[in-house]
Structure 1
Amino acid sequence: MENHPRSWLWEGFSVKLDGVTNVYGCSKMFNFNRNAEEVLVASENCFKSVRFDRTDNLRGTTSCVKLPGLPEVQSTFTVLAIDCFTNNEINIICVVFINCQSEEDPLLTEPFTGDLSGSLVGSAGGDQSKCCCINFYSCPNASDDSNVSNPVDYCEQSIAYNPTMVTNAFLTHPNRQQNVFLVPCENSLIHVFTDTSTENSFKFTELPQDETEILFPEFNFDENYLTQPDQPLPLILWMDVFYVPSEERKRLSAVAWENGNVQLSLCQVSTEESETETAVALVFCKVICYDGPVTQLRFFNRSAVDVVNPQVNLVVCTALEFVYVYHDVVKCIFSKVVHVDDSSLESDCVLCCACYDIDMDSTNEIVIGTFYQQIAAFKYSPHRNVYELMWDRKYPGPVRGLQVVDLSNDGINDLIVMTNNTVHIMQHNIAHIAALCKEKLLAYVQKLQNSGNLESLQREQLEVHGDS
């Protein structure tokens, strides 16, 4: 605890929301006007953009985001999940919501039993008789105050089964990459929506189930592992897709169900440039079970800087068994488990997690958020082979989400903590950052002196300045 003081991070600002958010209700995006990241937050039936206001001494602020294609009366719909990715200086946003026309005559939500191919409505302003809707927005660099206040284009789909969350990935084709959104639903099927936009229109279309099974073979779940005979299929609570750095044709995926099952898979995309179609081979697919729901899981690199020889780890947050971390899952799968030392914390239900380099030592740490209103940071100790507690903090409500973003565009990540109706912005202590930067520069100069490269570097600089 003494080596990792709480003063490393302090709460810079907090902003109130108009309603209550959930664990799937926030996503980061990029504002090209300000050249900085922002956080898009959905609270029940409205959207807020969380950012730093450069005209007000870099204070945290929110601006209302109005997305078209949603019911005009806010009380008639509820946002379930949102996600966003940035491609070619355009933010692509996916919003999953329930549309209820009125309290007296709510829409039916029974599972659809017909043909899946007819379960979607592909045109904007189409049939609104479905309860579960998915809207896609294209938000390029706008000149107004908010980067997503007036998206240029959008499309909407209706889906027969109730979705649980949404995340993004991409398909690797021989000559290009195609962005997709993955939407797991109550039928334990993962519906894949691909970007089929043209120069004149913006559109996302659902892949037929047979194509999904070819392009994502890891999602052909074995029902024998998921549930007991004559029992309904469990809900997918979380999933994460990760492309191995320097080897983007290797795709890791992890899926967590409410009954405690977790499936870890590795797929290899064909590297033959002469092939016209994408071939995906399933390298391995393993399932492990916990004694309770798995609330969240995330892949992360152990090193924050080494992308040539990365070690990909998986952190699994559970409702009853706290947190487990699996090291080097590409090679060891579930065999190299590392425990998290929670002896200094009260028994708690972990709701969310984030992984990034907190203390600037080039190694990623783990931050968790819990139902009993606290966050805790853990650092791996190679001597004990355990994740040790760095620090913990209390909050005024359950921690429903964590996001790592660079709101001020200073190269230092901020930690966004989402409670029931408040966004807390955790920043690094600038005095510690300045001292650490000075320490690292002095160490680098000393290393150059010891190797005899400092004088040659100085001569090169003199020659450059002399020529100019």
Structure 2
Amino acid sequence: MASSLDDLFHESNFHNVSSLTTIYGATAINGCNVDKLMVAMLKGKIVLFEYKKVDQSLVKIDKEVSFTYIPADAHVISIDCFTCGARGLIIAVAFFKETNGKLTNYLNIYCNYTYDASDEKDSCQLETVAENCRSFELEFVPFQLTHCKSRARKDCEALLQTVFIVLGGDSRIHVYAQDENQGEFSEQNLDKYFPEFKDLPGVPMFVDIKITNNEKMRISAVGHATGDISLFITDLSTEEWKLTTYHIQHDSPITSVRLFTKYTEVKIPEFMKRKFSTQDLPNHDPNIYHLLVTSAWENAVVYCFCADQGFEIPVLLENSSEHDCVTCCQIADIDRDGVNDIIIGTYGQELLVYKFNEPSSETYDPYEPVTLIPYWTRTFSYPIVNIMLQDLTGDGLSELIVISTKGLHILQCNSASAIKECKAKLLNLKRLKIK
């Protein structure tokens, strides 16, 4: 492993943007050979960032994408997308516009209804998708726009479908799902998909949802403008959906929440299962979750083993409140050691990385007390509003993308370091005598 993140990443490119974006204003397009990134500007523009191979060289490209029914004077608040097997790429954009002094809010959902699933290139035709729109006038101010897999309540045998989730200034969470027959989106009864969100203590600002335990359990965390944090554990294995609820309140508005596991989820190759007994292989429980919470004026905190312990075991991330407001966070294994790291962005232009401390013994204990230590910091020239990890260059290694108030900072993985690690791991595999 490299000795520091300076050995792992270097800033390879900077994309300047003409307007500010929000903490909800970026989304990744996956499944098109290489990842792409869309960033929505407050002044109505939506820009696509990607890299293309031209004459054996990678060329960075940023171009504005014209979406129908988004007027030039609109202010985009949030954007999200996912890929559906039946419809290809589906994009949702939440925005507002001012007419004669009155603000009107909208949600536009874009989908290619003539999508041909047999044509691999068809799913990546962004221009075609951007022309097919279903627009909803909203009676509330939209905040975060995200998606999650869910099924209708009392239908525990049904397949999971992906739905859009919109957090509203009316202290409610709104769900938009596709019609079973026509495939068109419409707002759904919240109780049908997410009954745990029925009565929230304030305006929701950020939500994160994980489905685990072989799709039998859903963990949902909601952070509110009031500082309230709601944690819901929903048992999906029965028609009644048994619900366990936890609640705590911080002293400042919640800016983000992230549910995560300590270890990355990598399937053990079959040859290793044949070669070694089960007890010789890593046996990290994938259902043990922690909850990262960032707020405007306080230190970020991790609530450990939240699915079992709720908010009983908090671990503060030291010095995370010393750089103005914490605006965003991300979970990723940036040093490729199999353990997830915590990345925090601040309005004070600091990127902070925290790492799990090494276990106190070689014996795996899933409930060993958690210690998180500062690992690396980097100062940027502008306030940070979003952090993402995507393989934009198509080399199999994710870039660390830091979105600031002035543009996109692309931190590329050190290829020499990655090659060195890969060679070491291949050498270890060579030493194994595979049956």
TM-score of the pair, normalised by structure 2: 0.84
Number of the residue aligned with 1:432:
417
In structure 2, do the counterparts of structure 1 residues 420 and 5 end up closer, same or farther at CA, with 3 Å as the change threshold?
A: closer
Amino acid at match of 1:426: L
Structural mapping, 1:132-281, within 5 Å: 132-139=105-112, 147-151=125-129, 153-172=132-151, 173=155, 174-196=157-179, 198=181, 202-208=183-189, 212-221=190-199, 226=201, 234-244=202-212, 246-270=213-237, 279-281=239-241
Number of the residue aligned with 1:276:
none
Asked whether the 8 Å contact 2:89–2:124 carries over to 1, the reply is: no
In structure 2, do the counterparts of structure 1 residues 207 and 144 end up closer, same or farther at CA, with 3 Å as the change threshold?
A: closer
Q: What is the percent sequence identity of the aligned residues?
A: 27
The DSSP-based 3-state class of the residue aligned with 1:36 is: coil
Distance 1:213 1:204 in 2: 17
Number of the residue aligned with 2:366:
none
Distance 2:150 2:186 in 1: 14
Distance 2:121 2:306 in 1: 44
Distance 2:36 2:256 in 1: 22
Structural mapping, 1:20-39, within 5 Å: 20-30=20-30, 32=32, 35-39=33-37
- Matched residues, number: 396
Deviation at 1:197, TM superposition (A): 6.1
Asked whether the 8 Å contact 1:164–1:235 carries over to 2, the reply is: no
Amino acid at match of 1:398: P
Distance 1:63 1:96 in 2: 20
Worse overlay, 414-423 or 308-317: 308-317
Worse overlay, 249-258 or 86-95: 86-95
Asked whether the 8 Å contact 1:180–1:192 carries over to 2, the reply is: yes
Asked whether the 8 Å contact 1:340–1:386 carries over to 2, the reply is: no
The DSSP-based 3-state class of the residue aligned with 1:6 is: helix
Distance 2:124 2:148 in 1: 26
Number of the residue aligned with 1:342:
319
Q: Show structure 1 runs of 5+ residues with no match.
A: 110-130, 227-233, 272-278, 457-468
Per-residue deviation, residues 185-238 of structure 1 (Å, max 9, x unmatched):
11211111111164xx55210113xxx22431211225xxx3xxxxxxx42211
Q: Show structure 2 runs of 5+ residues with no match.
A: 268-283, 361-368
Per-residue deviation, residues 34-68 of structure 1 (Å, max 9, x unmatched):
x1111111012101111112217224321221111
Worse overlay, 318-327 or 260-269: 318-327
Deviation at 1:142, TM superposition (A): 8.7
Amino acid at match of 2:356: Y
Number of the residue aligned with 1:117:
none
Amino acid at match of 1:237: M
Distance 1:150 1:351 in 2: 34
Number of the residue aligned with 1:81:
78
Structural mapping, 1:400-439, within 5 Å: 400-439=385-424
Per-residue deviation, residues 126-147 of structure 1 (Å, max 9, x unmatched):
xxxxx11100011557969973
Asked whether the 8 Å contact 1:324–1:340 carries over to 2, the reply is: yes
In structure 2, do the counterparts of structure 1 residues 338 and 202 end up closer, same or farther at CA, with 3 Å as the change threshold?
A: same
Per-residue deviation, residues 15-49 of structure 1 (Å, max 9, x unmatched):
112211110100111253xx111111101210111
Distance 2:123 2:323 in 1: 44
Amino acid at match of 1:7: D
Deviation at 1:176, TM superposition (A): 2.0
Distance 1:5 1:82 in 2: 30
Asked whether the 8 Å contact 1:297–1:314 carries over to 2, the reply is: yes
1:69 aligns with 2:69: yes
In structure 2, do the counterparts of structure 1 residues 317 and 12 end up closer, same or farther at CA, with 3 Å as the change threshold?
A: same
Deviation at 1:347, TM superposition (A): 4.1
In structure 2, do the counterparts of structure 1 residues 241 and 280 end up closer, same or farther at CA, with 3 Å as the change threshold?
A: farther
Asked whether the 8 Å contact 1:30–1:91 carries over to 2, the reply is: no
Number of the residue aligned with 2:274:
none
Structural mapping, 1:49-64, within 5 Å: 49-55=48-54, 57-64=57-64
In structure 2, do the counterparts of structure 1 residues 361 and 175 end up closer, same or farther at CA, with 3 Å as the change threshold?
A: same
Runs ≥4 residues deviating over 4 A: 139-146
1:286 aligns with 2:285: no
Amino acid at match of 1:48: V
Asked whether the 8 Å contact 1:30–1:37 carries over to 2, the reply is: yes
Number of the residue aligned with 1:41:
39
Distance 2:303 2:428 in 1: 33
Q: What is the RMSD computed on CA atoms of the aligned residues?
A: 2.5
Asked whether the 8 Å contact 1:214–1:280 carries over to 2, the reply is: no
Distance 1:204 1:309 in 2: 36
The DSSP-based 3-state class of the residue aligned with 2:422 is: helix
Number of the residue aligned with 2:364:
none
Amino acid at match of 1:298: R
Number of the residue aligned with 1:399:
384
Number of the residue aligned with 1:466:
none
Asked whether the 8 Å contact 2:2–2:417 carries over to 1, the reply is: no
Distance 1:270 1:144 in 2: 36
The structure with the largest alpha-carbon Rg is: 1
Asked whether the 8 Å contact 1:263–1:285 carries over to 2, the reply is: yes
In structure 2, do the counterparts of structure 1 residues 90 and 263 end up closer, same or farther at CA, with 3 Å as the change threshold?
A: same
Asked whether the 8 Å contact 1:264–1:287 carries over to 2, the reply is: yes
Worse overlay, 188-197 or 345-354: 345-354
Asked whether the 8 Å contact 2:17–2:406 carries over to 1, the reply is: yes
Number of the residue aligned with 1:106:
101
Number of the residue aligned with 2:8:
8
Per-residue deviation, residues 91-136 of structure 1 (Å, max 9, x unmatched):
21110010223xxx132x5xxxxxxxxxxxxxxxxxxxxx111000
Distance 1:219 1:420 in 2: 32
TM-score of the pair, normalised by structure 1: 0.79
Deviation at 1:445, TM superposition (A): 2.9
